[in-house]
Chain A
Amino acid sequence: MAADTNLAGQTSASEIVITRVFDAPRALVFKAWTEPAHLKRWWAPEGFTTPHYTVDLRPGGRMHYCMRSPEGSDYWGLGTFREIVVPERLVYIDSFADAQGNPVPPAHYGISASHPAETLVTVTFTERAGRTTLTLRYAVPATVPERDMAAQGWNQMLDKLAGLLARA
């Protein structure tokens, strides 16, 4: 098998960390993540299609995509780039959107209110011997006053939270 997965290791209770090794050079994996023609081939969930995908690859630029369900319902999503280091690192804020590219709350798509309106996605690509390790971090950015503290204290907080959950 070409791909190894480490899903268990580092994930904390509220930030997902998924690591996957792809049998492909980093430049190609990065392209597959940032070019619409490639993205359309793998982005949407099983049974879905991706009829629309645009990427404006620069800080402040956006990726705007549509995932079409087997029943024909469209789910639009939006990513706003915070940081781009080709071909090493991508940081973007992910949210639901409408067809015009305006962010919408999850409720717009009938998704539970407990779903975060925005998530912070960090993707890193490292290459070793022609294989690429992709690490994806997915977290809820704190959008209320303690934002900075949240960023700094994230990991510590998650450890604690994991401990709490274990005992809850």
Chain B
Amino acid sequence: MRADPLSITFATLADPTRRAILSRLSSGQATVNELAQPFALSLPAISKHLKVLERAGLISRGRNAQWRPCRLKASPLKAVADWVEEYRRFWEASFDRLDEYLRELQSPEKTQAAPKGGPPRRRHRIAAPARTRPRRA
């Protein structure tokens, strides 16, 4: 249920060897042998990491059976960046509202501004300043 693409990307990146592999690939394609060199890892161990990266769509492997060079695929990383941007904007706006609200709470001429916790059933009692609705006190 939680296997959304972004979580898969993060989980895949949550391994130092795989991150190092991606780092290496960001400067150009490489073969499995080339990738294995900097690590004290066996080829099968590297292959396992490559499979994880491939499944997550972070690398692609060439068709050439002998070399099968690995290449970085950046689009899942782009999804990460997009997600960040979307949430940044959301929280920026939320903090603008909180800031305004805190000012209102502390403003001396509006001492009534601090709402008290009301009764639990207040379905439609909404603080919508733009509209005037009948209020249940």
Contacts and interface: CB of A to CB of B under 8 A. Distances in A.
Interface stretch (B32-40, B42-50, B61-69, B89-97): B89-97
B7 A18 contact: no
B interface, how many residues as a size bin? Answer: 35 or more
A52 interface: yes
Is chain B's binding surface mostly helix, strand, loop or mixed? Answer: helix
Contact of B105 (A28, A49, A105, A167): A28
A129 interface: no
B4 A117 contact: yes
B117 interface: yes
Interface in B89-137: 90-103, 105-106, 115-118, 120, 123-128
Nearest to B97: A42
A162 B80 CA distance: 10
Contacts of B117: 35-37
A142 B116 contact: no
Interface in B1-30: 1-8, 10-11, 13-16, 19, 22-23, 26-27
Interface stretch (A1-9, A57-65, A80-88): A1-9
B103 A2 contact: yes
A155 B14 CA distance: 10
B52 to A, nearest CB: 10
Nearest to B13: A157
Interface string A71-115: 000000000000000000000000000000000011000000111
A14 interface: yes
Interface of A: 2-3, 5, 7, 11, 13-16, 18, 20, 22-24, 28-29, 32-33, 35-38, 40-43, 45-46, 49-52, 54, 68, 105-106, 113-119, 134, 136, 138, 140, 142-147, 149-150, 153, 156-157, 160-161, 163-165, 167-168
17 contacts: A2-B99, A3-B99, A14-B84, A16-B91, A18-B95, A24-B105, A43-B97, A45-B94, A49-B127, A115-B83, A117-B7, A136-B91, A138-B91, A142-B11, A149-B14, A164-B74, A168-B77
